[in-house]
Amino acid sequence: MIFNSNGNEVRGSTIRAPNARICARQEGLPLAGCGNSAIANKAMRHKTLGYAWAIAFALILACSRVAAAVEQFKIGGTGAGLGTMQRLADEFMARNPYIRIIAVPSLGSTGGIKAVVAGAIGLAVTSRPMNESERGRGAVQTDFPRTPFVFAVSTRSKVLAITSEELVEIYAGTRVTWADGTPVRIVLRPNSDTDSRIIRNMSSAIAKALEAASERPGVQFSVNDQDAADDLERIRGAIGPSSLALIVSERRALRALALDGKEPTPRNAVSGIYPHHKRLFMVTGTKSPSAVRRFVAFVKSPAGRKLIEGNGQWIP
């Protein structure tokens, strides 16, 4: 049994006086006043409310301490590597629940490097090496896995392969339909983009045809890798550049086409059978937080390498 300060037994929300005479002698009250349950109930409500506030305050304090213990940083950069980076981040956070990694939409290589230097993000994935100016502003570059550079179509398309000669015809505008009669719709990237540079370097004939395509009215230009993938999935008969890593890691409804009879697999890219690939890099600040350093170490670990190789990439 539990008694309050008046000697009354407390049972849940009810109060009774087990010995009214003792109560009267202690409080100097008439005997009849010792059984005043309304006064006792009011006192108990105040006491209970005090306990509730104390518990709520303790919970708030505990939650604040947990929140303070959570480290977080953001990742961004070129879209070709963001899908794989997100999968690496998910696995890393599962192993390190007090570290939170937030992926931001595609910033591009230059935008990602600028964001790292400014401290807006902790890590960027880029599709080009840094220049001297960027290094001088306090950014550090680390090699990231490579991935086949591909020409892609929607999985709804019946097209499985393409040749360099057909690419010239498509970009030049002399091939306007696919074999099934579907109109060919080309998806281009800005001339300054890495994808456009890779295409121009394939051959002088392709470079000339690409230039003609970029000047043709009504051609679809996609600003970043994710926009290009969206357009390739959405536009009937579309063909355009992408990367195997993006298609696999983002589970895109796209098909990477064989080029000149060569399948764009990591194995063929490593051996040189398929000659076109994207080289990717990780960029961090010179004074990265411990959470960023731990994540980079995980990316390079056996567990990280296994995940990378399962998403259309290889580690040279």
Domains with residue ranges and CATH for the chain = 2-51 (no CATH), 68-146+279-309 (3.40.190.10), 147-277 (3.40.190.10)
In which residue are the tokens 């980079």 written? 296
* Residue 136, pLDDT score: 87
Tell how strand 139-154 and strand 277-285 pair up.
antiparallel
* Residue 221, pLDDT score: 94
- Cβ-based burial of 61 (10 A; exposed 0-12, middle 13-18, buried ≥19): exposed
Q: What are phi and psi of 15, to 5 degrees?
A: -130, 135
* Residue 46, pLDDT score: 52
- DSSP conformation letters of 186-218: EEE--TTSHHHHHHHTT-HHHHHHHHHHHTSTT
CB proximity list for 66: less than 8 A, separation 6 or greater:
none
Q: What is the pLDDT of residues 175-199, one digit of tens each?
A: 999 999 999 999 999 999 999 999 9
CB proximity list for 6: less than 8 A, separation 6 or greater:
23, 26, 27, 34, 40
* Residue 14, pLDDT score: 36
Beta partners for residue 132, in sequence order: none
Q: How far apart are CA 163 and CA 151, in angstroms?
A: 11
How many of the other CB atoms lie within 10 Å of CB of 110? 17
Q: How far apart are CA 216 and CA 268, in angstroms?
A: 34
The whole-model pTM stands at 0.76
Which helix (H) or strand (E) element contains residue 117? helix 108-118
Q: What is the pLDDT of residues 264-279, one digit of tens each?
A: 999 999 999 999 999 9
Q: Which amino acid is at 299?
A: V
* Residue 298, pLDDT score: 97
Query: Which residue ranges of the chain lie beneath pLDDT 70?
Result: 1-69
